[in-house]
Amino acid sequence: MQITVNTPACVGAGQCVMAAGELFDQDDDGIVMLLEDSPDAAQQAGARRAASLCPARAIKIAE
């Protein structure tokens, strides 16, 4: 699995950090930071959940 984030689209709602805090954080301006772009098997459900909850559809996942 490969995660990419579209930072210009990010609206800073923080849903991804709530869904998968080990994969996503927000920088000092509240914009998404990808901590890990290739999640291991145990983290993949969290990654999918973050992508589905993102209000800006700023998280893309390639399986």
Partner 1 sequence: MTGSHSIVPDTDAAPKCPFHSPESVFEGSTPLVPSEALGALRDEAAAVPFLYSDAHQGWLVTRHSLGRAVLEDPRFSMYPRRMPLGPSGGHPLDIDDRAIHSVHDADLLSLDEPQHGKLRRTVLGRFSVRAVRGYQEAVQEIVRSQLVHLLEVGSPADLAAEFAQPISARTHCFVLGVPDDQVQKFISLFVDKSTSQQKWDFVREVIELRRDNLGDDVISDLLGSELTPTEIEGVLFVLMVSGRDSVAYMITTGTHILLSHPDQAALLRDDPALIQAAIEEFMRYGTMFVTLFPRTALEDVELENVLIRKGETVSVSPVAANRDERRFEDPDVFDVTRDSFGHLAFGHGQHGCVGQQLARLEIRTALGAILAEIPSLSLIEAEQSRPLPWASDLPTYEAGSLVVEWNAA
As measured in angstroms, the least distance from the Cβ of 2 to partner 1 is 23
Q: Is the Cβ of residue 2 or residue 17 nearer to partner 1 in the bound state?
A: 17
* Separation of CA 62 from chain center: 13
Q: What is the distance between the alpha carbons of residues 44 and 12, in angstroms, rounded to a whole number?
A: 22
Q: Which residues bind partner 1 (CB under 8 A)?
A: 11-15, 17-19, 21, 25-31, 49, 52-53, 55-57
Residue 35 and residue 47 in contact, taking contact as beta carbons nearer than 8 Å: no
Smallest gap from residue 9 Cβ to partner 1 (A): 9
